[in-house]
Amino acid sequence: MAGLGYFGRKDITSGDLASSVNTSPSFVRRILARLSRAGLIETSKGKSGACWLAMKPAKISLLDIYKAVEAPKAFAIHRYPARLSCPVSTNIKSSLSRALDKTQASLERSLKEISLAEVITGLKRR
């Protein structure tokens, strides 16, 4: 998204984006598909297919992007079975869950306050 906003052109391909972040075009295409379904980007199909932002970067929050790409939560609770003879083991997941839910909500509030335009501005300063 930063690359699309930084260059501001309608001719950027998944290959261009992939080389800029040193990953495979197929991985980038999967992410672009999610961003497109969320209405954050538009794409053209075909061999010379390209993509571009669907709206101005100032209108796109990092939370919009985070949700669109279906990023995992900031923290996860282990999946080990509880040891029934231990009060910590049997209650830790519910106790941690409340704390981690508060942390996740705080992260999402912060992401909502940051626009893609702010990220792009930071790139242009360098």
- For the record, the structure tokens of 19 come out as 């080389």
Q: Where are the domains of the chain?
A: 2-124
CA distance 9 to 6: 9
Beta bridge partners of 53: 41
Question: Domain 2-124 carries which CATH code?
Answer: 1.10.10.10
CA distance 121 to 115: 10
Is 86 in a helix, a strand, or coil? coil
- For the record, the structure tokens of 71 come out as 């990023």
Rounded to an integer, the average pLDDT of 35-44 is 95
pLDDT band at 23 (very low <50, low <70, confident <90, very high): very high
pLDDT band at 8 (very low <50, low <70, confident <90, very high): confident
Query: What pLDDT, on a 0 to 100 scale, did the predictor assign at position 59?
Result: 97
